[in-house]
Structure 1
Amino acid sequence: MTPEDLLALLVTHQESLAADLHDEENRREVAAALRELREAVTAGRSASPAMRRLRRALSALPPEHPVSEALGSRRYAAGGTEGRALPTADAIGTVLNLLEARDAGAVPDPGPDPVPDPGPGTGAEPGPEPAELLAAARERLLRAPALTEREHAELLTSHGDQPGLIRLADFRPGRSGARCPRFQFRPGTLQPLPVVLRINGLLRADLDPWGAADWWLGGNSWLHGVPADLLGTLPDEELEGAALELVEAH
C-alpha cells in the first residue's frame, strides 16, 4: 500500500473519517499532517516524516475503521515512502477539504499558496499554528501520571541517570525540571521495566523523548489500545514488534 493508496483510501472513506475522529484536536492533527505532507511533496523533500505524523494522527481512528485496518497491516507498516508513488499536492488538498468540510463552520483548505488576511469583521478564524498544536500535544503528555520530585530524586540516587528512560522537560508555571512517566516502572517500585527500556531504545527516546512518550501514551491502531496501558497484558514481543514496525517504516 503506497502513500498514494492511503490518500485514495482517505477519500473513499471521507464520510466516516471525520465522523470517527470524534476529538477536534485529532481532526486538526490529521489536517496538520496532511499540510506538512503537501509541503514536502511540493518542495520535493522526503515525505517520510510527514507520513509518520499522518499515520500517528490516524491511529486515533477506531480499530475497525478501514483506514486503521490498512495501517495495521504488515504490508503497509513494513514499507517507507522511498521509491514509492507519492500523492500529488492537489490530491492532498482534496482530502483536506473533505475532512475540514465536516467541521461546522470550517473553511475549505485554500491550497499551498498563502491566503491574504480577510481582515476584521469577516468571521473567519485562523487555524491553529503548528506551535500551538505542538504545545497542546506536549501538555497532554505532561498530564500523564509521573514520578514525584522525591521519587525522581530517589531514582537518580539508586539507579543513576539511565539514558533509556523517557524524561520530559517540564517548565510550566510552578514547575521546573523533568517529568518521568510512571508507566516505565514496575507498579509500586522504581524498577524500570526491561521491555520499556528496550522499546525506548528502538524509539530513540534519548534523542526524541516527546515522540517516544507519544507512542507509549497515544492510541495505537496496530495494538488496538494505548501501549502503556497494555504493559503486562500483551506479551512483550507484541509491543516490541509494533514499535519495530514503526521504526522500520522510516
Structure 2
Amino acid sequence: MTPDAFLSLLHDHWPMTLAALDDGQRVRLHDALHDLATADDGRSVERALRGLRMQLRTLPPDHPVSQELGGTVRYAPGARATTIDRVLLGELLNVFAAPARGPGDLRRAAHDRLWEVPALGTAELVPEAAHDTAAAGLIRLSHPGVEDRYPRFQFMPGTGQPLPVVRRVNHILMADKDPWGAAAWWLGGNRWLAGVPAELLGAVPDEDLARAALELVAG
C-alpha cells in the first residue's frame, strides 16, 4: 500500500478511527499528522509516516485501518514519500480544528455514514424475511422515529431475497447483537480479502467470505 492509499483508507474511516481512541491517543495522533504535514523532505516524511502508523497501532485489531498497519509501505518509482496527498492530509487535520467531539459524536458520525448506504425497507423484503429478520440473519439498522433499513448488498439483485452467504456471515459476525459492527465489516476494506466484502459478493467464493469473517472473530 502506498502512503497516499494509506491516507485515503484513513480518510474513509476517519470518524470510526477517532471514536476508537481516547483523548490522549487523539492528541498524539494529531501531533503525528502535524509532523507529516510539516515534513519537507523525503527522509522526514518517511519518519513522520512511521510515527503515524505507530500511533494507529492502538486501534482495535478488527478496525479496517489496523488490518493495513502490518503491510509494507510502497512508493511510486523514484517518488518515495514526497508524493503525500496534502489535500487529504489537510482534511484529516481539519477535524481537530473543529469544536471538540466526544466518542459518542464520532460514533454517531460513523453510524450516519452506514445509514446512507443503499438499503431496503421492511415492505420491500420477501415475506419470510420480513416476518422474522433475526432468523433470516439480516443486518437491520435502526434510528429512532424512522423505518428500519436493511443494507442492499444483503439481497439478490433486484429482489428482497436474502443471499444465503450473507446470512451465514452475519451469523458469524453476530449481526443480531451488533448490526452496526457487522455493517462496518461488510462495507469496510478487508486485508484478507483484498477488497470490500460487500463488493466481492459473487466475485469470490462464499467460503472465502465466511473464512474472512471467522478470521475476525478468531482475532
TM range (shorter): 0.5 to 0.7
Corresponding position: 1:161 with 2:132: yes
2:157 paired residue number: 187
Aligned mates of 2:132, 2:152 — CA distance in 1 = 16
1:26 paired residue number: 13
Aligned with 1:233: secondary structure?
coil
- Is this contact kept in 1: 2:17–2:59, CA < 8 A? no
| Change in CA separation of 1:237 and 1:37 when aligned onto 2, cut-off 3 Å | farther
| Change in CA separation of 1:233 and 1:68 when aligned onto 2, cut-off 3 Å | farther
1:35 paired residue number: 22
Aligned mates of 1:201, 1:60 — CA distance in 2 = 22
Q: Percent of pairs identical after alignment? A: 45
Normalising by structure 1, we get a TM-score of: 0.56
- Is this contact kept in 1: 2:189–2:197, CA < 8 A? yes
Question: Where do 5+ consecutive residues of structure 1 fail to align?
Answer: 1-14, 39-49, 62-66, 71-101, 110-123
- Is this contact kept in 2: 1:166–1:205, CA < 8 A? yes
Corresponding position: 1:69 with 2:55: no
Q: Given residue 191 of structure 1, which amino acid in structure 2 is its aligned partner? A: Q
Q: Deviations over 1:97-122 (max 9, x none)?
A: xxxxx658959x9xxxxxxxxxxxxx
- Is this contact kept in 1: 2:173–2:213, CA < 8 A? yes
1:53 paired residue number: 60
| Change in CA separation of 1:29 and 1:211 when aligned onto 2, cut-off 3 Å | closer
- Is this contact kept in 2: 1:142–1:168, CA < 8 A? yes
Aligned mates of 1:36, 1:245 — CA distance in 2 = 30
What is the deviation of 1:29? 3.8
More helix by share: 2
| Change in CA separation of 1:34 and 1:235 when aligned onto 2, cut-off 3 Å | same
Question: Where do 5+ consecutive residues of structure 2 fail to align?
Answer: 26-56, 73-88
- Is this contact kept in 1: 2:19–2:103, CA < 8 A? yes
Q: Given residue 212 of structure 1, which amino acid in structure 2 is its aligned partner? A: A
What is the deviation of 1:35? 2.8
- Is this contact kept in 2: 1:166–1:181, CA < 8 A? yes
